[in-house]
Structure 1
Amino acid sequence: MDEQYQRVDPEVLVSYLKAQRWNAVATWRGTTVWERGSESDQVLLPQEPHSPSGRKLLSRAVGDIAVIEDRPVSTLLAELAQPRADTQRFRLLPATPSGTIPLSHGRKAIEAIYQVLRDGARTAFEGPSLFHRERPNEAVGTLLDRVQLCLTEPGSYVFATKICEPPSTSEDSPANLLAELAPEPEGPSDHQVAVDLQAAVVKAHGVATTLAENGRIPNPAEQGVSGNLCKALSDLGGEDRNRPFDIAFTWGFGHARQPVSVPLHFTDRMAAELLTFGTRLERLSRTGPAVVRGRVISLHIEELTKRRRIQIKGVASREDDQEELTLWVFIAEEDFELAVAAHRDNRNVRVEGEIVHENGGYRMHLGRNRFIASA
């Protein structure tokens, strides 16, 4: 622990205090006086922190800050060592005594957390998809190799992971000079991936809330979540996906901009609904031949290409099953006029063709005489 105190960067500690709304209010005998408010205890930071006496005072200040903020000093030291680390905190609530972790349950929990991070990161690196069927690309694997699993915390199952950006180097260091000659890295930063992960989990939470309250959700393919992430989140509900859990996101104080942290509670019903919804998205993501029957709910002519497309809400029939969906269908000009009439008269239509994955969504392209409107 003494060695960890010695490694504290004085400038990082000042940045931390500012991020936590501490204020420098005075100077006294070679120190700067910091406080969180008029009622809080004060902390003294040395103005010459690299002298022997300054290092001792700095170490004492770290301990005082931990006491005032009512947090373990080891946690504070870890945060100061990684000021740009973003943390994801998972609190699981299984039907076992609080604070105990049976090995089999712990393994399942770690696997579920890994899948949540993986499937959330895929959206950041690969773009949105109803269901990712292929293996993750190399960038996702490289990110997961950098994710750290923190020590467990008291209070049922509490796990935390950290997405840590690589440490910066000084401007004149050889590593930094070589980095300037290297091409710019492609893809989002680790911090952006963590931000996108929270956004994806928030969307999934909204879907699960709606399903738990209403039993259904309109246009499931247009909710902006992947089936993979929904199924991974449901696994946090235990073996039977019927236990509640919490997820919280916190951001490294070293980032210039930090999104609002949104703690999320998933009920037991929400965990079960996510499994069902994720499985449905998996079915909806299937491509190939299908017959779609339903009503035309929207018509559109693209301004540049003049291509005609209609949106049908109905049922897609495949060889082995049927699924409710809403689908954009590109059709010939003469069939577009029939679609306009069917839309106006609220008549059923039937289309037959290949469902394909295109531009992050699913479409059907029809040749002539593949569009039929009921009489």
Structure 2
Amino acid sequence: MTLISEAEFDQAAELHPRHLQRYLRSRGWTFVDDYGRGQLWELAAASVRGEPYEVMVPLDRRPRDYPDRVCDLLEALAAVESRRPGEVLREMALPPADWQYLRLLPPGPSGTAPLVDLVPALTGLKDLMTAAAAAACAPEPQPVQPAQKPQRVKDFVASVRLDQTRVGSYVLAAHTPLPEPSTQGVLPFDDSAEGAAREPFERLVSRRLYAATWCAYQAAERTIREDTLDDFAQYAAVGLSANLCEALVRIAGDEARGYELSFAWAAELPVGHETPSVAVTRPLLRALEAGAQDLRARLSQRGVAVRGNVVRLDRTPTAGPGEVTVLGSAEGEEDRRPRRYRVVLQQRDYAQAASAHQRGLEVTVRGDLVVRGGHARLDPVTGFETRQAAD
């Protein structure tokens, strides 16, 4: 008895063969042979009695039985994936997208999860996407990202969609729609400037997300083996940041339960190499948390703007550069309690700071933020200005 409804049958009739092929490629199926009106595909990762699964993909939409052949394919795929044919059908009809699967391991019956586990998981997943988008958007990845994110990052996060849950404990499925590929194609995972320029921003974020997550996993593994946090800083160039590590920890929630992240890539932009899933265990969570703290403690946020009042001047001798302490807030963190920032200013800017201190005027200092031992500095300083008093 068919598991496909009449409405789903009509939808299957509308699918183009390229939708079928795209779905198979994205799920790891490989083309085997062409029979003119159909193609044979196989899935070596899954097998029956040692033999790979095989399916036939109809290519000719003209025969009346085309919808029946598509439904046969849907039912075969549904059996392999332990899903309903309608779920496979709906996913086939979606536009090209990169997929991320978050498999939680909550207590209780399979396919369910406590609400208190889902809230931090969804929040952490959102923060993870935000960190990856910020790394992709920045001219150079930052080990500690500023609180205020560009609008492009916010727009990307808003475009991420949550799909229906999957079989396997409790699996959250997110996907990022991609623009239709150009006829020239795109070289996936091409880190050259030319390759990045031709790559959709959405794919750039997806691969930043995977690369940074995988490197965070590797850094945490080394932390456990060798009791060192050095790799977290070394991997910053690929997008690993304190923000991303904190998001990975946040996904696990207060109970610090492990989870698994896996990735599937739009068939139109194949990645060309394996992207193994990332299993985050409780010990790795502790290492990730330590790595995030270390990044925040010893690495800078670049291009930070601090606005506040000069509360201390220190210069010896009485001419030349001098140290100034500004009590204020970094841009994007105005809702937090003001803190003291130390800066070294050249003679001209130091004189302006002294005048602002005497007149009670606000100043704005720009530079790279470094926090060590609870003390915050802007070093080097790239800009200094005094706000004029209102008339």
* Bucket of the pairwise TM-score, normalised by the shorter protein: 0.5 to 0.7
Task: Deviation per CA, 1:5-47: give whole Å up to 9, x if none.
Answer: 13311233245456611323535xxx43525399567655555
The TM-score normalised by the length of structure 1 is: 0.64
1:357 aligned onto 2:345: no
Aligned counterparts of 2:210 and 2:32: Cα–Cα separation in 1: 30
Deviates more, 1:46-55 or 1:149-158: 46-55
Aligned to 1:228: 243
Contact 1:125 1:188 in 2 (8 A): no
Does residue 271 of structure 1 match 2:285?
yes
TM-fit CA distance, 1:158: 1.6
Corresponding residue number in structure 2 for 1:26 = 35
In the alignment, is the contact (CA less than 8 A) between 1:92 and 1:236 conserved in 2? no
Do the aligned partners of 1:24 and 1:35 also contact (CA within 8 Å) in 2? yes
C-alpha separation in 1, matches of 2:107 and 2:218: 25
Question: What residue in structure 2 maps to residue 249 of structure 1?
Answer: 263
Report whether the alignment pairs 1:156 with 2:169: yes
CA deviation profile, 1:64-89 (whole Å, cap 9, x unmatched): 34446665424432442236211111
Task: Give 5+ residue unaligned stretches, structure 1.
Answer: 171-184, 290-318, 321-353, 367-375
| Matched residue, 2:115 | 103
Number of matched pairs:
286
What displacement does 1:198 show?
A: 0.2
Query: Is residue 251–residue 258 contact of structure 1 (8 Å, CA) maintained in 2?
Result: no
Q: Which residue of structure 1 lines up, in the alignment, with residue 187 of structure 2?
A: none
User: Deviation of residue 128 (structure 1)?
Assistant: 1.1
Residue number among 297, 315, 320 corresponding to 1:283 in the alignment: 297
In structure 2, what is the equivalent of residue 238 of structure 1? Answer: 253
- The aligned residue for residue 349 of structure 2 is none
Structure 2, unpaired ranges of 5+: 1-7, 45-49, 184-196, 307-311, 313-338, 341-364, 370-376, 382-391
The Cα of 1:248 is off from its aligned counterpart by 0.9
Structure 2 counterpart SS, 1:255: coil
**Matched letter for residue 190 of structure 1:** E
Alpha-carbon contact 2:95-2:178 (below 8 Å) kept: no
Equivalence for 2:150: 137
Alignment of 1:89-128 (within 5 A): 89-96=101-108, 98-126=110-138, 127-128=140-141
1:262 to 269, 273, 276: 276
1:192 paired residue among 201, 204, 211: 204
Q: What is the deviation of 1:90?
A: 1.0
C-alpha contact (below 8 Å) 2:265/2:271 kept by paired residues: no
Classify 1:220/1:16 alpha carbon distance in 2 versus 1 (closer, same or farther; 3 Å).
closer
Distance of aligned partners of 1:100 and 1:43 in 2 relative to their CA distance in 1, 3 Å threshold: closer
Asked if structure 2 preserves the Cα contact closer than 8 Å seen for 1:83 and 1:254, the reply is no
- Can you list the C-alpha shifts for 1:171-229, whole angstroms capped at 9, x where unaligned? xxxxxxxxxxxxxx998521121011100111111121122223322375333121111
TM-score, structure 2 length as denominator? 0.62
Secondary structure at the counterpart of residue 223 of structure 1: helix
> Hey, what's the Cα distance between the residues in 2 that align with 1:219 and 1:62?
45
Preserved contact between residue 124 and residue 188 of structure 1 (Cα < 8 Å): no
Q: Whole-Å Cα distance in 2 between the matches of residues 203 and 45 of structure 1?
A: 38
Check conservation: 1:204, 1:230, Cα contact below 8 A.
yes
CA, structure 1 residues 69+274, in 2 after alignment: closer, same or farther (shift >3 Å)?
closer
- 2:159 touches 2:177 (CA, 8 Å); kept in 1? yes
Q: What are the superposed Cα offsets for residues 312-355 of structure 1, whole Å, 9 maximum, x if unpaired?
A: xxxxxxx99xxxxxxxxxxxxxxxxxxxxxxxxxxxxxxxxx99
Any idea what SS the aligned residue of 2:230 has?
coil
Shift of 1:153: 2.3
SS in 2 for 1:22: strand
Please tell me the residue identity of whatever aligns with 2:261: I
On the 8 A contact 1:355/1:364 being kept in 2, the answer is no
1:235/1:96 Cα in 2 relative to 1: closer, same or farther (>3 Å)?
farther
CA shift in 2, pair 1:48/1:140, >3 Å: same
CA distance in 2, matches of 1:67, 1:248: 21
Cα 1:257–1:218, aligned 2, differ >3 Å: closer, same or farther? closer
Identity of aligned residues (%): 23
Moved more, 138-147 or 81-90: 81-90
Q: Secondary structure at the match of 1:129?
A: coil
Structure 1 pair 24–15 and aligned structure 2 pair: CA distance change class (3 A)? farther
Listed one character per residue, the Cα deviations across residues 81-123 of structure 1 (whole Å, up to 9, x for unaligned) are 2362111111122455543322222112111111111112111
